Amino acid sequence: MYSTSGKAVRMNRLFNPDDGKAVCVAADHGWMSDPTANVVNLKNILGQVIAGGADGVLMSFGSAQRLGHMFQGKDKPAVIVRADWMNLPRLGGANVSNVLPVINFRKMATSRAKDALQMGASAITIYYFIGYSDEFEAINIEQASIFAQECRKVGLPLIIEPMAVGGMVTGVNIAEILIASARIATEIGADALKIPYTGDVITFKELVDRSRIPVLVLGGAKSDVPRDALELVDEALRAGASGTVFGRNVTKAKDPKKMVEDLCDLVHGVKTIDQIFSPVEKGKKRRLRGISANCVGCLICETVCVQAHSVSFGVNRARLRIESKPVEEKPPLNKVNVCILCEACIKVCEPNALTLSEEGYIQLDESLCIQCGKCGEVCPNSVVLFDDDGYPIICDLCEGDPQCVRWCKYDALKLV
Amino acid sequence: MHTHIGKAIRMSDILSENSLVFDSTIASSIGAPEGMEDLSATLQQLTPVFDGIILNPGQIEHLAHASGGKNRAAPLVRIDWTNAYRGADFCLPVSHVKRIPMSNAQDVTDLGGSAAVATLFMGYGDMFEAENIRSISHLIRESYSLSLPVFVDIRPIGDHVSESNYEDTIQLGVSFMMEAGADGLIIPLCKPETLELIGNWSTIPVLAYSEKLISKSEFQSVIEHNIQGLVFSEAILREKDYQSKIQLLK
């Protein structure tokens, strides 16, 4: 409940009123660190972010002024203005990756709530650094309190971003610090939080439960694998988060629009992670391809195959087979045998127990199977096995997300 | 006697002959302690039995529905933040104690607070004390024109305070704050002699701060010293059957 209707109205502009969730994109990096490609191409990237359906975009005051016209329209994302500045990304003499490193950590209030409101913003965001020093935290609290008072006066939501940074922050106490700082931010007057993930669902749930206001989880550093970034969001949502603020994982993505679409699907409950990353689509037949030249024979593929299907470890029931050849033979030393979806097993199956699903993987109807074993006999790669009762064990592409492909770090398995 | 009828009305929302006030504001310093995780639920239980609840500005905004109302606890707003309550069990060690204003008189009035509560920390050194007094004096002047009562919560917890000067330090704080123009005081629940002295001397209402629940007879003896009631910390939430014990005090 808010003391002014302005806050309630603007919170509804940012958080989808149907589900109370929001996907926001942070595009304020140029305000605090080097002008990397995502900063230089901001206009183009924002175009893609808007097309992807983001609920909010965080920008500096200057960017909001220059690019605000892109946000006109009911279907466009809400504008969030970054109301402070800091030099953390450039901090430290050893930080040679920056053009101009700095020695002293500084944070300055740079815009007022009133300025952001004039800009048509639906919220402002400010940092709350905790763990660097008592003095620095006090300055942060003082600034946050002033912003909170201003925001109350003009009816603008205040998003506080607690960041555990400094010599007193360790791997041991970081979750505890984030949990405490989230509640402290609420007590000061935050209307929502933008906060890093604590690392696990249990502590993040504690953070959400104790803060009592909407929590947006940060995407964090650029992840090499998009799925990893989305899994973090998925965990945070399970802990009760109200959405996410993704920065570099969107603005530096190969396809920012697709990344935002995926985030929106996940956060607004349209698709699960598995559905988002399901490489097998209806009507589009895809199959595994083994690249023996890349295989080092680690057998992780066989192990995860068994684990994915029977919740046990071992390789004897794997639906693919790594064949090691004697060293005196010509390379490659390992031959990757996988189901190539030749459908020979389906064709030979008289009772039609084996069929091809709409999604394009082989499925077995045990009630029809007569355990004749013919499917195994015709398999050209000998990757059809049989369980103790004589039923065939055949690759089902893990129902769309083959674990062997996901786990093979040598690119010896691909979905083609 | 209040010259401002506004102040008199607001004070009467908080004070009775045996006032009970709950202080929920520790969370701005250390996060949510046990029993305070869901403050809204806690307040639903507390507001019918307490005369006042001290809230942080952020909380009163979100929990306006859970505070105030006829025959329910009046909301008081703590206007300052501190790290002074972070003990050895907190995840970050404190090397320098800080006190920062996080609200002002106009803000408290806008939030619907019946009074502002400021903290006077004693024993943290000359500069700290001077800045603390300057800040409280400013708040009192600002509140005067808005008819907003100001309670000052005297906390003699600095390292310059020892067992030998503890009671005298409380008296010094009371003297300072009466001179500064406070409308009410909150002092630690100290020795009966000190309570009696302060109760008879003070021309403004005085509440005593307690970390634990006390018996009806103990409460009665506090009241007899012209102390107008008690302020309980969140620690009472961890005491067994605290609700019925509070009911008994009324």
Cβ neighbors of A202 (< 8 A, separation 6 or more) are: A239
Is A182 a residue whose pLDDT tops 70? yes
CA A225 to chain CA mean position, Å: 9
Distance from CA of A171 to the nearest CA of B (A): 12
Taking the C-alpha atoms of residue A28 and residue A161, their distance in angstroms, rounded to an integer, is: 14
| pLDDT given for residue B47 in this prediction | 87
H or E stretch covering A58 = strand A56-60
Start-to-end Cα distance in chain A: 52
Q: Report the chain A residue with the minimal C-alpha distance to residue B38.
A: A210
Alpha carbons B155 and B186: distance in angstroms, whole number: 9
Q: Which of B97, B100, B104 sits opposite A142 (nearest CB)?
A: B100
What pLDDT does A394 receive? Answer: 92
Does the CB of A168 have a partner CB in chain B at under 8 Å? yes
Which of B93, B94, B102 has the CB atom closest to A188's CB atom? Answer: B102
Q: Is the pLDDT of residue A328 over 80?
A: no
Residues of B in CB contact (< 8 Å) with A are 25, 27-32, 37-40, 56-59, 61-65, 81, 83, 90-98, 100-104, 107, 110-112
Residues in A closer than 8 angstroms to B83, CB to CB, are: 134, 137-138
- Pairing mode, if any, of strands A107-109 and A123-130? unpaired
> What mean pLDDT comes out for the span A374-392?
91
The low-confidence residues of chain B, meaning pLDDT below 70, are 1-3, 66-69
Q: Which residues of A touch B93 (CB under 8 A)?
A: 168
Closest approach of B18 to chain A, Cα-based (Å): 28
Q: Give the mean pLDDT of A106-131.
A: 95
For residue B81, give the nearest of A141, A149, A180 by CB distance: A141
Q: Do B59 and A168 touch (CB under 8 A)?
A: no
Q: Would the pTM count as exceeding 0.80?
A: no
Q: How many CA atoms lie within 13 A of A182 on its CB side?
A: 32
Q: Which chain A residue shows the shortest CA-CA distance from B95?
A: A134
Cβ-defined contact of B39 to A185 (cutoff 8 Å): no
User: Could you tell me if residue A393 is left (phi over 0), alpha (psi between -120 and 50 degrees) or otherwise beta?
Assistant: beta
- What value does the mean pLDDT of chain A take? 90
Question: Are A141 and B95 inside 8 Å of each other by CB?
Answer: no
pLDDT score, position A191: 97
d(Cα A292, Cα A283) in Å, to the nearest integer?
29
At residue A245, the pLDDT reads: 97
Q: Who among B27, B96, B104 is closest to A187 (CB)?
A: B27
Residue A96 above 70 pLDDT? Answer: no
Contact B62 A186 (CB under 8 A): yes
Check if the beta carbon of residue B54 is closer than 8 Å to that of residue B231. Answer: yes
| Per-residue pLDDT at B79 | 97
In chain B, which residue's Cα lies nearest the Cα of A212?
Answer: B38
pLDDT of A309 reads 86
- Cα dihedral B215, B219, B221, B222, rounded to 10, equals 140
Do B27 and A184 make contact, defined as CB atoms within 8 angstroms?
Answer: yes
Report the residue of chain A nearest B41, measured CA to CA: A212
What pLDDT is recorded for position A93? 57
- Pairwise CB contact (< 8 Å): A188 & B56: yes
> Could you tell me which chain A residue has the CA closest to the CA of B84?
A134
| Exposure on the CB side of residue A278, measured as CA atoms within 13 A | 18
In which band, very low, low, confident or very high, does the pLDDT at A356 lie, cut at 50, 70 and 90?
confident
Q: How many CA atoms lie within 13 A of A223 on its CB side?
A: 17
Which tokens is A83 given?
């109301």
Q: Are B92 and A173 in contact (CB < 8 Å)?
A: yes
Nearest CA in chain A to B82: A138
Is the separation of the CB atoms in A78 and A122 below 8 Å?
yes
Q: What is the pLDDT of residues A218-251, one digit of tens each?
A: 987 777 778 889 999 999 999 999 999 999 999 9
- Whether pLDDT at A48 is above 80: yes
Hey, are the CB atoms on B92 and A149 less than 8 Å from each other? no
Q: Which residues, 6+ apart, have CB-to-CB distance to A62 below 8 Å?
A: A31
pLDDT at A175 (0 to 100): 96
Decide: A145 and B135 in contact? Cβ < 8 Å.
no
Interchain contact, A182 vs B104, CB within 8 Å: no
The amino acid sitting at A36 is: T
Q: What is the pLDDT of residue A97?
A: 66
Average pLDDT over residues A58-62: 95
Residue carrying structure tokens 């004697």: A326
Percent of chain A with pLDDT over 90: 62
Q: Which residue in B62, B83, B98 is closest to A212 by CB distance?
A: B62
Cβ distance A184 to B112 less than 8 Å, yes or no, reads: no
- How far is A397 from A400, CA to CA, in rounded Å? 5
> What confidence tier does A281 reach under pLDDT thresholds 50, 70, 90?
low
Q: Which of B39, B100, B107 sits opposite A212 (nearest CB)?
A: B39
Q: Is residue A279 predicted with pLDDT exceeding 80?
A: no
What CA–CA distance (Å, rounded) separates A254 from A252?
Answer: 7
Q: Which member of A134, A177, A186 has the closest CB to residue B95?
A: A134
pLDDT in tens, A21-35: 999 999 998 998 878
Percentages helix, strand, coil for chain A, rounded to the nearest 5? 40, 20, 45
b/e map A235-254, b = 16+ CB within 10 Å: bbbebbbbbbbbbbbbbbbe
pLDDT surpassing 60 at residue A330: yes
Closest partner residue to A176 among B61, B91, B104, by Cβ?
Answer: B91
**Which chain A positions have a beta carbon within 8 Å of B111's beta carbon?**
3, 152
Mutate: best of A150, A176, A187, partner B, most B CBs <10 A: A187
Helix (H, G, I), strand (E, B) or coil at B109: helix
Q: Over range A114-122, report the average pLDDT.
A: 92
Higher-pLDDT residue of A281, A389: A389
